[in-house]
Amino acid sequence: MAYQWFREGVDVEIASINPCQRGVYFPGKVVAPSFDDSNKFLVEYDTITNEEEGTTRPFSEDVRVGLLRPRPPLEDKLGFKCNDSVDAFFHGGWREGVVAKCLDKSCYLVHLKSMKQSYQFRASELRVHREWIRGAWCPPYEDEIKEEADDDDDVEELPARARQKPRKRALHEFFGKGNLVEVSSDEEGFEGAWYGATIIEKRRKDKFLIEYLSLRADDGEKYLREEVDAIHLRPHPMETLVTDAYNRNSRVDCFYNDGWWEGRVVKVLDESRYRVYFHGTDEEMDFHYLEMRPHQDWVDGKWVKRSRNIHRTI
């Protein structure tokens, strides 16, 4: 169960849901489970403050469990090489990037994905980029690899059929309680849009109760919850690193009206803005690159990317 990693007082990292800060993780700690929602935790940020009555205090808020991950262990590696995938500590958060140039033994030029710019960092401000996937760090740490190898020496080889995972389990492991997902709609005018949400619980066969990340209920206070069929769900897309500008005819998703809409770039306005055509509504709109992401399709349990401007996928 994912909640075992988020006990009171545990150091964590909190993902930003701001479209302009996709993939940025801010350090903090768990204060307590939320009083209002069993799928949330009250967290306190280490680097974000709240101005109140003339004093600076750490900012705290209730955060969905799907936006939390344990704080990665410290490691001794302080040397990197060109094209290494790293996280850089910048403006209070860890931002994914790629080493563009080794300036000397302790200084590097890193291209930050969320900023779409390159900055200089000391080795102490960098770490190997890893993803927290279903309770494990990927790629694993060296000591974890060694432990797995030692375990493999003690396990008898199993028949191929015994080693295979049931397909049903493989499909539903993406939709566990607390997982981040995206939800599509059949409602007229919303075809083709995907909205971020969190799995609250599984209901009857292939039905899930979800809570949207950005859509509010009619009272305007709480986030909207509804029961959806599995055919309208997909995992939250993995972050995709884009190192080049989008080109004309690039397939993209654009964040508009609280959801992601599939479109096609029809005009490059400048280095940071693009005109996008949406086939579903037969409209054209202008977007900043921070409101865009390369389009991906969820096909047979995996992400398929067809955009020409993708350099590396995490």
The CATH number for 229's domain is: 2.30.30.140
Q: What is the DSSP letter of 17?
A: -
pLDDT per residue rounded down to tens, the chain (314 residues): 445 678 788 889 999 888 777 789 999 999 998 887 777 899 999 998 876 655 678 899 999 888 899 888 877 766 899 999 999 999 999 999 999 999 987 899 999 988 889 999 999 899 999 988 767 788 876 644 454 444 444 444 444 433 334 344 444 567 877 777 899 987 877 777 999 888 888 888 889 999 888 788 887 778 899 999 999 999 887 665 555 678 999 999 998 888 899 999 999 998 788 999 998 888 999 998 778 888 988 888 888 876 454 433 33
Same domain, 174 and 126: no
Please state the φ and ψ torsions of residue 287, each to the nearest 5 degrees.
Answer: -135, 145
Residue 157 in domain: no
Count up the domains in the chain and report the number: 4
User: In the structure encoding, which two tokens stand for residue 179, read together?
Assistant: 């997982």
pLDDT of residue 147: 43
Residue 146 in domain: no
CA dist 50 to 46, 54, 109, 200, 314, Å? 11, 10, 32, 29, 33
Q: Which of 94, 98, 100 is nearest to 22 (CA)?
A: 94
252 burial (CB, 10 Å; 0-12 / 13-18 / 19+) is buried
Q: How far apart are CA 201 and CA 1, in angstroms?
A: 13
Same domain, 274 and 299: yes
- What domain range includes position 39? 2-70
Please state the φ and ψ torsions of residue 190, each to the nearest 5 degrees.
Answer: -120, 10
Residue 154 in domain: no
User: In the structure encoding, which two tokens stand for residue 280, read together?
Assistant: 């579903």
CB under 8 Å to 12, separation ≥6 — which residues? 5, 6, 27, 28, 29, 30, 43, 68, 69, 70, 71
pLDDT of residue 307: 45
Residue 269 in domain: yes
pLDDT of residue 240: 57
Q: Which of 235, 256, 290 is the last residue of a domain?
A: 235
Q: Which of 70, 95, 113 is the last residue of a domain?
A: 70
Sign of the C-alpha dihedral, residues 68, 73, 78, 82? negative
Residue 143 in domain: no
Residue 283 in domain: yes
Residue 138 in domain: no
Dihedral angle at the C-alpha atoms of 7, 9, 11, 12, nearest 10 degrees? 50
The CATH number for 120's domain is: 2.30.30
pLDDT of residue 9: 86
Same domain, 59 and 95: no
Write down the H helix ranges in the chain: 142-153, 160-163, 167-172
CB under 8 Å to 42, separation ≥6 — which residues? 30, 31, 32, 33, 34, 35, 60, 61, 62, 63
Same domain, 210 and 252: no
Same domain, 42 and 8: yes
Taking CA 26 as the corner, what is the angle to CA 238 and CA 312, rounded to the nearest 5 degrees?
Answer: 30
pLDDT of residue 254: 92
